Amino acid sequence: MNKNQITGKAKEVKGKVKETMGRIKGDNADKAKGKLEQIAGTVQKTFGNAEEKLTDAKKNLERKREARRT
């Protein structure tokens, strides 16, 4: 797991709490802000997932190159 995945998940949770509080209070602005924060968290987490996949692919490629040399 990388920093973007963790931060993104934290934003998702924070946004869900904010959205729920907006629903309880009947505050549409807080509800909308919570939804937006969830979306921002999802985007950041997805970026982190892609980043991790690229890092893993790079490591695998380097291992294959090293195996060919020996």
Residue 69 has pLDDT above 90, yes or no: no
Q: Which two tokens stand for residue 4?
A: 């973007």
Cα–Cα distance, 30 to 37 (Å, whole number): 10
Give the H/E segment covering residue 57. Answer: helix 28-69
> Tell me: the pLDDT tens digits for 7-55?
999 999 999 999 999 999 999 999 999 999 999 999 999 999 999 999 9
**70 pLDDT above the threshold of 80:** no
Whether 15 and 34 have beta carbons less than 8 Å apart is answered as yes
Residue 28: per-residue pLDDT:
98
Give the C-alpha separation, 23 to 55, whole Å: 40
